[in-house]
Amino acid sequence: MTFPIIHTNFWDAVLAIPVIMILTQFIKLAGKLPKSYVPALALLLGIIISVFYSHKGHLISGLFMGYFYGYAAIGSYASLKTTILSFRNRKAQAP
């Protein structure tokens, strides 16, 4: 079995992750999507962006990189949310 050579454009990764984060939040608010489904939605959007835009010539590469895009968006959102909550708690506890 030979593994595919995956060429990822830097801008695909830099643009795909914020786009996925924005789309998931928009869909969550506009469509009344429960919070528990948002990570699955982010993963699905990452795969869709990767298969149909970033790696449209190779399905396996698109699926492989789509997981990375989706999980990177999930992790970035979790990190950003934790940082904001920590900052708010620290600010509220300051004398």
* pTM beyond cutoff 0.75: yes
Residue 92 confidence (pLDDT) above 70? yes
Residue 10: band (very low, low, confident or very high) from pLDDT cuts 50, 70, 90: confident
Domain boundaries, the chain: 10-93
27-82 pLDDT, tens digit per residue, is: 998 988 888 999 999 999 999 999 998 888 888 888 988 999 999 999 999 999 99
Residue 18: band (very low, low, confident or very high) from pLDDT cuts 50, 70, 90: very high
CA separation (Å) from 87 to 18, 26, 93?
22, 24, 10
Closest among 81, 74, 84, 82 to 17, alpha carbons compared? 74
Residue 54 tokens, joined: 């970033």
